[in-house]
Structure 1
Amino acid sequence: MNEALTLKEAQLKLEYYCSYQERCHQEVVQKAGDLGMKSHETDAIVVHLIQHNFLNEERFARSFARGKHRIKGWGKNRIVNELKQRHISAPNIKCALTEITEEEYQDTFDKLAERHWETIRETNVQKKKKKFCDYLLRKGWESNLVYGKLKEFEK
């Protein structure tokens, strides 16, 4: 970037940045830094974005939890960890998890587990079990669910 953006130009760019996808504060601060804004300018822009409802961390957390669960099949552990990495507050994380009903959560887990079990092409049973567990644990599913499902498959 040759010329520094004015505060107003950066503010407009960041309004657009927040309007087409939910963002967390950390992403906005990073983007402002990329645009060459100083920290006091960034703070002013973030305040403006919050006041004008472009930036809302609770809304971001809810949207993030819904999307990652429904589209990527993530469990609660992974969602919580990813939100913590984005510096989302504990009350907002708790609020985000209410977006996923217990029924939907269990249903998603069952479908994902059964589909993955069928796709593992491993003749060694122990290796197959390990691959199955590693995959689901990496996606953030609780170990009691994973090992419970594994016991079902062993029958």
Structure 2
Amino acid sequence: MDVEIKPVKITDPKVGLAKAEHYCAYQERAQQEVRNKLYDWGLYPKDVEQIISTLIENNFLNEERFAKTFAKSKFNQKGWGRIKIKQALKFKKVPDVLIRKALLTIDGDEYQATLKHMLQKKAATVTEKEGFKRQYKLQQYAMSRGFEGDIVADTIKNIEW
């Protein structure tokens, strides 16, 4: 017989704040992520908002810092394009102004170089021989990774195959 263990709910705001500080110190978080976690822990709405403002005051929580770190890390580690990064930040309910600032931290030359490298790597695995179908497959792949269609098309035209 399986016994389901339910997590202990936190009702004391001081305990919630201490756990939230640890949660935010571990890695950068969006406000909405922290808010959701606090609700998961069982805190009351008035306590959640008080804890969020305390975290902001004590610089444990900073949306701009989170957005910039998120954008850089997803670009550098996962090779995501600007569109995919923007969608992910919107999903985390980061304000549009901060999303734009975060996307500006991605270097344009590095962005082009990453796209070119990714396309060359993918081209080696595409078995299609016909030129237009091959280009289409490469373009669709790059766009699925979050790169803008016009930039992808220009890069594909300029690559020496």
For normalisation by structure 1, the TM-score amounts to 0.90
CA distance in 1, matches of 2:123, 2:154: 13
User: Which of 62, 67, 71 does residue 56 from structure 1 map onto?
Assistant: 62
CA distance in 1, matches of 2:9, 2:121: 53
CA distance in 2, matches of 1:147, 1:102: 16
1:93 and 2:99 correspond = yes
CA contact (8 A) 2:11 2:44 kept: no
Residue number in structure 1 paired with 2:138: 132
How many Å apart are 1:124 and its aligned residue?
A: 5.5
Percent identity, aligned pairs only?
A: 35
CA contact (8 A) 2:116 2:159 kept: no
Bigger drift between 103-112 and 115-124 goes to 115-124
Q: How large is the Cα RMSD of the aligned pairs?
A: 1.9
Residue number in structure 1 paired with 2:125: 119
How many Å apart are 1:105 and its aligned residue?
A: 1.1
CA distance in 1, matches of 2:116, 2:129: 23
Bigger drift between 114-123 and 21-30 goes to 114-123
1:148 and 2:143 correspond = no
Deviations 1:23-49 (A, max 9, x none): 001100110011001111100110010
Residue number in structure 2 paired with 1:4: 10
Deviations 1:2-21 (A, max 9, x none): 45341111111111110111
How many Å apart are 1:149 and its aligned residue?
A: 2.8
Deviations 1:87-132 (A, max 9, x none): 1112211211121111111111111111111122345655533332
CA contact (8 A) 2:30 2:66 kept: yes
Q: Report SS of the residue matched to 1:61.
A: helix
Amino acid at match of 2:43: M
CA distance in 1, matches of 2:10, 2:21: 18
CA distance in 1, matches of 2:121, 2:62: 36
Bigger drift between 1-10 and 16-25 goes to 1-10
Structure-2 change in CA distance of 1:39 and 1:3 (3 Å): closer
